[in-house]
Amino acid sequence: SLVWIGMGALRQRRNRKHSAAALQQVATTGRRAADFDFLLIAALCYIGFIWLWNPDYGGQRDWDLFSLASIPAALLFAESVALVLPERQYRLTGALPLLMVQALHTIIWIYQNTLPWEWP
């Protein structure tokens, strides 16, 4: 998904450079590009943190250490969808399946945490 986000952002920036009307929009969307860059850096730093951190207790007990990584990644995804799909109809069409998959993972996670867990 990060490849898709990066390709969409590069395509969007390339299209802005070639259009005279888009040059006027760059002044108004400059903050949006800066927000995207910040969120990309934050998400990549969290991914690096996940790869370097050693969960001593295991995934079932150390989930809270890794859960914060989803915040910049989710915001980055929302920002990139707004950049790639400017029309509201397409954003809703693309977001509904994603929201259903996220709801499925949330339900599974809640069920998993209701099960008793014994220390090995």
Query: In a structure prediction context, what are the per-residue pLDDT tens digits for the chain, which is 120 residues long?
Result: 555 566 566 666 666 554 544 444 445 555 667 778 888 888 898 888 888 877 666 656 667 777 788 888 888 888 887 777 777 787 778 778 888 888 898 898 888 878 887 765
Total-model pTM? 0.56
Nearest to 16 by CA among 92, 84, 81, 76: 84
Cβ–Cβ under 8 Å, residues 46 and 68: yes
Determine the Cα–Cα distance for residues 89 and 95; give it in Å rounded to an integer: 10
